[in-house]
Amino acid sequence: MLQRQRGFVVNISSVPARFGGGIGSIAYSSAKAALSAMTKGLAREFGPKGIRVNAVSPGAIDTNYHKKFSTREALDAVVASTPLQRLGTGADIADVVVFLCSEGARFIQGQIIEVNGGFLMV
């Protein structure tokens, strides 16, 4: 990327980076918060070299992880707290990643894009 003076980095953060996560997820939430901060630092450092650095911060995504580690009640509570009234999908996240790597995002740098159906609003 440095040789070409062009490239894209899209980190994957998470909603718990903003609110600390649930009980037992301190390490995960802290790591994601650090990744969000690192995204901004990398964007400052490598933007002048033509490299765009951003992150996507998913909310609850309907994956095997949640099928294994979450209860139906917990997921139902998340859905009830989400204005779009559903869990996200892998495609919801992938579409944003593809956009961030496109020319349509040519002036987006150092951003953490929240993809959570409105679960957390700034």
65 an active-site residue? no
Residue 88 DSSP class: B
Give burial (CB, 10 Å; 0-12/13-18/19+) of 14: buried
Q: Which residues of 38-69 are buried (b: 16+ CB within 10 A; e: fewer)?
A: ebbebbeebeeeebbbbbbbbbbbebeebeee
Which residue among the candidates 28, 38, 63, 79 is catalytic per the annotation? 28
Active-site residue set? 28
